[in-house]
Structure 1
Amino acid sequence: MERRHAALIAVTTAVLLLAATASVPVSTWLRPRIVRLAYAIEQRGVVYSWGGGHAERPGPSKGTCVGYRGSVRPCPAARTRGLDCSGFTRWVYAMAYGTDVLGPGNTDDHVRRLRRVRTAPLPGDLVFFGTVAGRTVRTHHVGVYLGGGRMMNAPETGARVRVDRVSRLKDFAGYYRY
């Protein structure tokens, strides 16, 4: 009888734990994963490549020189395997969510798939720069918010994925969440 009672307690405990963890919002456990993945990519030393990360599947790819306006000449993107800022965030989110939730496109396309954070941002949110006002969306940069005013981003040609202060760029457009 004591064995049956112990088995019943074990099963009840397991069911309660499953119910409790199943009711935890996805963002609660996913946010730290997003930040860990961003740091893991930084540790790889992935380089910036204009248009990199926008192949059919997320992840480092050769970039493109179409639309390139960087200072490094000639444009190195077509021969450089790496990530641009939106390619970086696309890859981080695809790994965290298990599917390409941001999809192809640039920062304007990505911000349209997200909702603006009106209260305090959380680590793992995306931070955009440019203009987002009503139907006008003209963004030019995005990073993964780490907390404490810092973001992980692929900043510019010649750089590697790195941590910068959010205040490094002057045209902050807002924090956004999937």
Structure 2
Amino acid sequence: MGSLKLEPAQSRLDLLADPVAKALAVWPDDAPVDADQVMVAPIDAELADTAAFCEFYGVGLDVSANCVIVAGRRGEITRYAACIILATTRADVNGVVRRHLDVRKCSFAPMDDAVAKTGMEYGGITPIGLPADWPILVDSRVVATPHVIIGSGVRHSKIAIAGPALGALPGAEVIEGLARELA
């Protein structure tokens, strides 16, 4: 995991957004990893964006997972969801995601909406601790990765977790082809 100084996340709640800390406190007993196997590392908040983070800390893009919040509309109803994809890919928002959410229009959620609805910082949003009624769509490549780095809900840290654990989060669904490789 590059030069990250990892510690058990439950012992460093100061490095987690409040919704993330609350989710770890009620971590399911049947999860593929125990809550004490969810690790966190402090980082420079100015380096939270994926490319800068990976370069500075020596973490491969192929083990860095992004959580993107999407909003889909059908009529007057807006549905939110999280897409978990590797940094080497891009979510197929207008195809796979739109059809999966059964909406007419789908796009990345506006930053202000994503921050307000998740209680997390933009650039640090993570699938751990999202609203319970949101689907979490996980690209199959993420769960096939033994360990990934994701956001922690804040910009000044990152979480390291087993890829398969993300596919087992409450509300998660593993989807083949959710994302496409970047050209």
Do the structures match in fold with TM over 0.5? no
The higher-RCO structure (CA 8 Å, 6+ apart) is: 2
Q: Which has the higher helix share?
A: 1
Q: Which has the higher strand share?
A: 2
Q: TM-score with structure 2 length normalisation?
A: 0.29
